[in-house]
Amino acid sequence: MGAPFGTRTVAIYFQSLCSSSAGNCLALWTATSSIFIDCGIKVQRECREMIEAHRRRAGHLDAVIVSHAHGDHMAYGSLRVLGREGIRVLGDGRVVRHLREWHEPQAWKEPPRLEAFPVCHRLDDRRACGHLFEDPRPDRPTFDVGDFRVMPIEVPHAPHVPTFGFAISARDRGTTRHLVFCTDFHDYAGILPYVVDADFVFVEANHDLELLRQHPNHASRYHLNNMKTASLLHHAARQSVMAPGTVMLGHLSEERNRRALALDEVTGMFARQGTKMRFHLDAAPARRPSAVVEI
């Protein structure tokens, strides 16, 4: 663990390692802290190689934070590898319970270090802990992993599958950077306040409505379509004083979306509304790493 939160200046890096219904894994790191958000890699060899490649770049991997228990976000194969590597796996208590029920890792020789979010930092506790950080946004419990303060935000996804986006903060060169990660949800009302004035946003743009009509899929209703993603980003831009440096779209359906369609939906929405798009817009590749973004 690093110095007390908020006292150190760090450079923050992000890379999407894969992002689709075939598997999701996002990496976030500083010189001293490193986390994955989700690790839904079914093939153990691929998971091991992904972790090794990340360690060569970032130096280490402290923990994996899990958004929900669907297999493209945390798979049996990746739990086996994370258990063997002794890497902490943190999720909401209900998500951890699902993972235990679905995969029964307690019977394994090297079970993963599955832990419920160590949430303790309600506002009063944070003051008591001497944390310097104060967040003007709606207050929710947070926990720290090294340089990162993580605020899980429950979002609506599939029935009976508790699912979380994450507002993550870190100090960088004297200011607090706000990062938002959210995939697998179908209503953005709860996440919008955190996207406002965020410095970096990774958000799902799952499907194009016309392609969904051509290739019907029941589960698509649990995901954000391109139009809703564009609307979320436009609402956030209208309410923001500062624009994010980069917005990266992710979890694009390989059958029901195209990179150009997702990007055009967002740029088109801003153009139609006469709103200047003040951020760099990109889309994460489905099955290979994105470029590294310095936040």
SS3 140: coil
User: Which residue of 38, 62, 144, 184 would you call a contact of Zn ion, by CB under 5 A?
Assistant: 184
Sheet holding 113-116, edge to edge: 113-116, 88-91, 63-65, 34-37, 23-29, 13-20, 293-294
Which amino acid, 30?
T
Give the integer Cα–Cα distance in Å for 141 and 192. 18
**Nearest CB to Zn ion, comparing residues 21 and 246:** 21
Chain-centroid distance, C-alpha 22: 16
**Nearest CB to Zn ion, comparing residues 73 and 178:** 73
The region of 17-25, 52-60, 67-75, 123-131 touching Zn ion under the rule CB under 5 A is 67-75
Give the integer Cα–Cα distance in Å for 265 and 267. 6
**Nearest CB to Zn ion, comparing residues 212 and 237:** 212
Q: ∠64-69-74 over CA atoms, to 5°?
A: 45
We find the least distance from the C-beta atom of residue 159 to Zn ion, in angstroms, to be: 11
Residue the block writes with tokens 């270090």:
113
We find the least distance from the C-beta atom of residue 48 to Zn ion, in angstroms, to be: 24
With contact defined as beta carbons under 8 Å apart, do 207 and 221 qualify? no
The region of 7-15, 181-189, 194-202, 230-238 touching Zn ion under the rule CB under 5 A is 181-189
With contact defined as beta carbons under 8 Å apart, do 87 and 60 qualify? no
Give the integer Cα–Cα distance in Å for 34 and 143. 15
**Nearest CB to Zn ion, comparing residues 58 and 262:** 262
What DSSP string describes 191-214?
A: THHHHTT-SEEEEE--B-HHHHHH
Residue 92 as a binder of Zn ion (CB under 5 A): the answer is: no
Size of the site for Zn ion (CB under 5 A): 2
Residue 204 as a binder of Zn ion (CB under 5 A): the answer is: no
CB atoms within 10 A of CB 128: 11
User: Which residue of 70, 149, 228, 256 would you call a contact of Zn ion, by CB under 5 A?
Assistant: 70
The region of 68-76, 102-110, 143-151, 285-293 touching Zn ion under the rule CB under 5 A is 68-76
**Nearest CB to Zn ion, comparing residues 69 and 87:** 69
The region of 11-19, 62-70, 201-209, 249-257 touching Zn ion under the rule CB under 5 A is 62-70
We find the least distance from the C-beta atom of residue 101 to Zn ion, in angstroms, to be: 17
We find the least distance from the C-beta atom of residue 230 to Zn ion, in angstroms, to be: 21
**Nearest CB to Zn ion, comparing residues 177 and 251:** 251
Positions that interact with Zn ion (CB under 5 A): 70, 184
